[in-house]
Amino acid sequence: MEISALIESIKQHPEYQQQIMHHELLDARDGQFKSLESPLPVALSQLLEQRGIDNLFSHQVDSIEAVRNGSDLVVVTGTASGKTLCYNIPILETCLSDPQARALYLYPTKALAQDQLKGLLQLLTGVDDPLLNRPQDNWRQIPEQLPFKPGVYDGDTPTSQRRRIKAESNLVLSNPDMLHAAILPYHPKWARFFSNLQYVVLDEVHMYRGILGANVACVLRRLKRVCQHYGSNPQFLSTSATIENPGELVNKLIGRAPVVVDNDGSPRGRKHFILWNPSELGCDNLARASANDDAVWWMCEAIEQGGQTLAFTRTRQAAELISRYAQQRLFDNQSPHHNRICAYRGGYLPIERRAMEQDLFQGRIRGVASTNALELGVDVGSLDVTLLVHYPGTIASTWQQAGRSGRRNDESLSVLLAGNEPVDQYMIRNPEYFFSQSPEQAVVDPENPYVLANHLKAAAFELPLDEDGLAEFGECATPITDILHNNHELNHVADKYYFSGGQNPAHKISLRHMSDNTFSIVEISKDPDSPNKVIANVDAISAPELVYPEAVYLHHGETFFIRELDLEGRVAYAERQEMDYYTQAVLDSNVKIQHELESRPALPDTSLAFG
């Protein structure tokens, strides 16, 4: 589509009231290529050539050489810059020379692991749309002479397939949660895999900050202990969105300093970035039109002009509303595209999400309203426009979301639609600040005592903890272990600590600091001969907010009236009804200062405190 024509049509529209506060143009950039010091194996070169890859970008070459030299790695380049090849090429090169070599790929979400399995199979088979079936069926698509057997091992993997993946797969795709609770505690069953483990991939490593980051750091230290037990010492290969401190973050996660590759050599098309302030509703300059409504307007205009659009929202409900209103607007305009818009968010069944990702990639879906579930690197093809409905909260997330539009040399557009919140209004009114700010630091504390205590118990369950094992977890590990021993949670025998609880403690530890339980949303059948069916899932913490009795639940643009929420059975019962309103829970939170460590004056009668 013609981006400039879209912007001009918005300006000429009767609804336009000077909402564009700033229009930034980011120049196009040519690709920078380099050659490897020694060529790739012929078989690997042929795989790349059949995917149209004849040359490697400078950052890809620098990454491959760093891995060849035995270094840990973190690659920090833009969206769609080919980061995946930075770790896949050296891993596949090693597997070609040593068929016993193993690699463990860790992704922050199950959806991303499935997407990367598809990408791996595309590379290994030369097929654009490979079938994703049982592991043995996937492997049959790969030429017999290639020693590659990729497989996803996560919570959705059927029990019947898990044994085969453990025994045969040399490229295992999983997530930190699965490694923590279902792999490390049962490491004897993975003995062959860990004995030959040469690489651990940490994709989208910028996601591992805060509590999640502290938990993942502890899981990776447990992984290193298990690997050492089986005689292996894998390299850690990471990728990250642009953040201020990628090397420091990875160092804290894995306990070793990586080589940082941030010289992005990929080409980039010209990018338009618009800061948009919805029109005022009164003369007091306080109330403004809804950013959701303006996002609907932008999405429909872009779709009508042949563009493919992704709108990022803060909430599941906003994603459903934008999708529904855009469908209605196009239907009212008699557009043939009114049924080519959808919402994408957590809670949908996995098979639904995979189908939507495929339809978006193939261009069958022209507009999608999504939570940040699509912020990560799931391949959704070539998008023309991204709409950021409210400021995402960080500069890093803003550029990550904006980067989802535009691939290689294609021109693209991103629009930040501000809300009434002070931060949104500040960003929209201070473009020089917005465009000059560096991405934030990712902060993680691997020695958080509350997190570390749980993982020391898990580590002792996996292997007895001795002095060297404790050193892997940092200086805080020894005093925390003494406390656990005094509480009779660890036994101390012959200078080693053993877990005394019997049951696997990892099952009681959530890496994401939220309940692992989910509620099923069940549609009550209106036909007595037809069974009720599960239409969606929601996590236990969100259930009281989204599916309380008499709530209106939005799902695929349709409205469901919640009849009952069974807290004990973890089921919400819903009836499909056409309703002209939606509900929103009233949330109330209270903050109580328990202990103040330090304070200093900031403004008259105001102080800043840390505690």
The predicted-structure confidence for 145-182, as pLDDT tens digits, reads as follows 899 999 999 988 888 899 999 999 999 999 999 999 99
CA distance 592 to 471: 36
Position 282 pLDDT exceeds 80: no
| 548 close to 562: Cβ distance less than 8 angstroms | yes
**Domain-terminating residue out of 467, 483, 504:** 504
pLDDT at residue 91 in the model: 98
Of 397-411, 430-444, 505-519, 552-566, the least confident: 505-519
Average pLDDT of span 116-137: 83
The answer to the question of residue 242 being in a domain is yes
What does pLDDT average to over the chain?
92
Give kind and range of the element (H or E) at residue 40: none
Q: What is the mean pLDDT of residues 266-292?
A: 86
CA 358 to chain centroid: 17
Count of beta carbons in the 10 Å neighbourhood of residue 51? 14
pLDDT band for position 534 (cuts 50, 70, 90): very high
Tell whether the model's pLDDT for residue 79 goes beyond 90.
Answer: no
Domain membership of residue 567 (yes or no) is yes
Confidence (pLDDT) at 145: 86
Q: Lowest-pLDDT range, 21-30, 128-137, 353-362?
A: 128-137
Residue 396 identity (one-letter amino acid) = A
Same domain flag for 292 and 215: no
Rounded-to-integer distance, Cα 531 and Cα 410, Å: 48
pLDDT, greater one: 492 or 353 = 492
pTM over 0.85: yes
C-alpha to C-alpha distance for 380 and 374, rounded to whole angstroms: 9
Q: CATH number of the domain that 226 lies in? A: 3.40.50.300
CA gap 90, 67 in Å, rounded? 7
- Do the beta carbons of residue 203 and residue 106 sit within 8 Å? yes
Euclidean distance between CA atoms 490 and 505, whole angstroms: 12
Q: Decide if 549 is inside a domain.
A: yes
What confidence score (pLDDT) does residue 501 get? Answer: 82
User: 94 and 242 in one domain?
Assistant: yes
Retrieve residue 195's tokens.
């004995």
3-state secondary structure of 223: helix
Same domain as 362, residue 472: no
The Cα–Cα gap between 254 and 224 comes to 9
Whether residue 266 contacts residue 80, with contact meaning beta carbons closer than 8 Å, is answered with yes
How many structural domains are present in the chain?
4
Distance between CA atoms of 308 and 7, rounded to whole angstroms?
15
494 and 529 fall within a common domain:
no
**Could you tell me the pLDDT band of residue 108, with boundaries at 50, 70 and 90?**
very high
Do residues 17 and 78 both lie within one domain? Answer: no
How much is the pLDDT for 39? 96
* Domain containing residue 283: 3-25+269-436
Q: Write the DSSP assignment of 135-185 as a string of letters.
A: HHHHHHTS-TTS---EEE-STTS-HHHHHHHHHH-SEEEE-HHHIIIIIGG
d(CA 535, CA 208): 31
- Identify whether the C-beta of residue 296 lies closer than 8 Å to the C-beta of residue 307: no
Does 243 share its domain with 305?
A: no
Rounded Cα gap, residues 408 and 267, in angstroms = 5
- Within this chain, do residues 191 and 332 fall inside the same structural domain, yes or no? no
Q: For residue 67, which of 228, 188, 237 has the smallest C-alpha distance?
A: 237
Domain edge (last residue) among 404, 436, 468: 436
Q: From 103, 114, 121, select the one nearest 51 (Cα to Cα).
A: 121
pLDDT in tens, 301-314: 999 999 999 999 99
Q: How far is Cα 440 from Cα 434, in angstroms, rounded to an integer?
A: 12
Determine, yes or no, domain membership for 443: no
391 and 288, same structural domain?
A: yes
Residue 354 vs residue 425, higher pLDDT = 425
Kindly list the strands in the beta sheet with 552-555, ordered across the sheet, starting from the edge strand earlier in the chain: 533-539, 518-523, 571-576, 558-566, 552-555
Same domain, 340 and 391: yes
Q: How far is CA 156 from CA 161, 175, 183, 224, 337, in A?
A: 10, 12, 14, 26, 34
pLDDT at position 377, please? 66
**C-alpha span between 517 and 567 (Å, rounded):** 11
- 160 is written with which tokens? 């019947």
Going by C-alpha positions, the residue among 156, 41, 29 that lies closest to residue 90 is 41
Distance CA 95, CA 123 (A): 15
pLDDT score at 560: 95
Among 223, 242, 261, residue at a domain's last position: 261
Answer yes or no: are the C-beta atoms of 574 and 561 closer than 8 Å. yes
Q: Give the angle subtended at the CA of 553 by the CAs of 552 and 558, to the nearest 5°.
A: 100
pLDDT of residue 513: 56
Inside any domain, residue 444: no
Asked, for residue 278, whether it belongs to a domain, the answer is: yes
Residues 176 and 294 in one domain: no
Question: pLDDT digits over 313-322, tens only?
Answer: 999 999 999 9
Q: How far apart, in whole angstroms, are the C-alpha atoms of residue 3 and residue 415?
A: 12
Assess if residue 16 is contained within a domain. Answer: yes
Do both 425 and 545 map to the same domain?
no
Q: Is it the case that residue 50 has pLDDT exceeding 90? A: yes
Q: Is 155 part of a structural domain of the chain?
A: yes
- Asked whether residue 419 carries a pLDDT value surpassing 90, the answer given is yes
d(CA 152, CA 113): 7
Specify which residues 415 forms β-bridges with: 274, 387
Q: Is 75:83 a contact under the CB 8 Å cutoff?
A: yes
Q: pLDDT tens, 331-342?
A: 999 999 999 999
| Whether residue 242 is found in the same domain as residue 280 | no
The four Cα atoms 311, 316, 321, 326 give a dihedral, to 10 degrees, of: 30
Residue type, 331: F
Q: What percent of the chain has pLDDT over 90?
A: 73
Q: How confident is the model at residue 286 (pLDDT cuts 50, 70, 90)?
A: low
CA distances from 143 to 98, 433, 555 (A): 17, 53, 42
CA distance 277 to 420: 9
